[in-house]
Amino acid sequence: MSGLARSRKRASCWRATRDARLIAGGQTLVPMLAMRLARPAKLIDILRLPELAGIREEAGAVVVGATTRQAQAERHPVIRASVPMLARVLPWVGHPPTRNRGTVGGSIANADPSAEIPLVAVTLSADILLATTDGPTSMPTDDFFIGPMLTTIGQGECVSAIRFPVWPHRRIGVGFFEISARRSDFAFVAAAAQVALGDDGSCLDVALGVGGVGDRPLRLDVSSLIGTELDPASVTDAVKAVSSDLDAMSDLHASAAYRRRVASVLCIRALEQARIEAAAKSAGGAR
């Protein structure tokens, strides 16, 4: 393996060859190289390309550069304020040292079905921004994640940023639960929820997603909860309606039946936790 690209231009010529792989944080790729499971002739180091860095606010969205370290995002005031679900799950991603190098874009591009960052992107209906040989493009997560560790990234393309929608409401709460053998292990099942409450406590908006269940993170449609007070009965009914026939996988860690059952429980808990957090925000004041 030889070669380290540092400029975007050089990187783009190298991207064109079949035998080159991009490396950013390297927390997933380097173990594969160490075990000789991946054998590119060249690695293109994109970690310090300025075009892929930075967190910026747009109207109604926060755009997170692909090479933003997970630890940076965890600490960033804009993320905490405007994409609280991302801030909530990041402590569960790997370990502190892996978050110091691992990138948000890297986790997205890796597309592990049980990974937390893709789950947030799917749950919030984020857009994935790509740099391609034909120029920049963007696509919704539903078009991007197509299977386990599978995305529609083509030859010569890379994730350049993720655009997370920002909810305009004042009283927003998030909930997140994950089951794994140990903290920071891959999740058997994870559920993420975000709710917005009106001043009267009724639900103005809701987003719910599960990871680790199917071959990619899934957004569940519980829009029937809008207008309710997210009382236990309504929440349970809504969750059961969408989770009873989830496409779930069986592996040596957990059976499909277990995953479905636990997903349903975690969704209910995540929604409840989100509701409590939103309710604690003062009505009628600044966010």
Partner 1 sequence: MKVDLRINGAIRSADIEPRKTLLDALRENFLLNGTHAGCEHGVCGACTVLVDGEPVRSCLMFAVQADGYEITTIEGLAPAPGELSVIQDAFCETHGLQCGYCTPGMILAAHALLQHTVTPTREDIVEAISGNICRCTGYGQIVEAVEFAADRLRKANTPRPHHDGPHHAHAEGVPAAAADKPVVEAK
- Which residues make up the interface to partner 1 (CB under 8 A)? 1-4, 23, 26-27, 30-31, 33-35, 43, 45, 47-48, 71, 74-75, 77, 80, 87-88, 90-92, 94-98, 100-101, 176-180, 182-184, 254, 258, 262, 265-266, 269, 273, 277
User: Judged by CB, which is closer to partner 1: 169, or 261?
Assistant: 261
Nearest to 286 by CA among 171, 165, 201: 171
Region label for 192, one of left (φ > 0), alpha (ψ between -120 and 50) or beta (otherwise): beta
Contact 217, 208 (CB under 8 A): no
User: Judged by CB, which is closer to partner 1: 3, or 147?
Assistant: 3
Region label for 142, one of left (φ > 0), alpha (ψ between -120 and 50) or beta (otherwise): alpha
Least distance from C-beta 98 to partner 1, angstroms?
7
User: Judged by CB, which is closer to partner 1: 204, or 262?
Assistant: 262
Least distance from C-beta 86 to partner 1, angstroms?
10
Residues 6 or more apart whose Cβ sits within 8 Å of residue 265: none
Q: How far apart are CA 208 and CA 245, in angstroms?
A: 16
User: Judged by CB, which is closer to partner 1: 3, or 154?
Assistant: 3
User: Judged by CB, which is closer to partner 1: 197, or 262?
Assistant: 262
Between helix 256-279 and helix 232-243 the angle, nearest 10°, is 150
Least distance from C-beta 80 to partner 1, angstroms?
7
Least distance from C-beta 157 to partner 1, angstroms?
22
Q: How far apart are CA 280 and CA 83, in angstroms?
A: 18
Least distance from C-beta 182 to partner 1, angstroms?
8
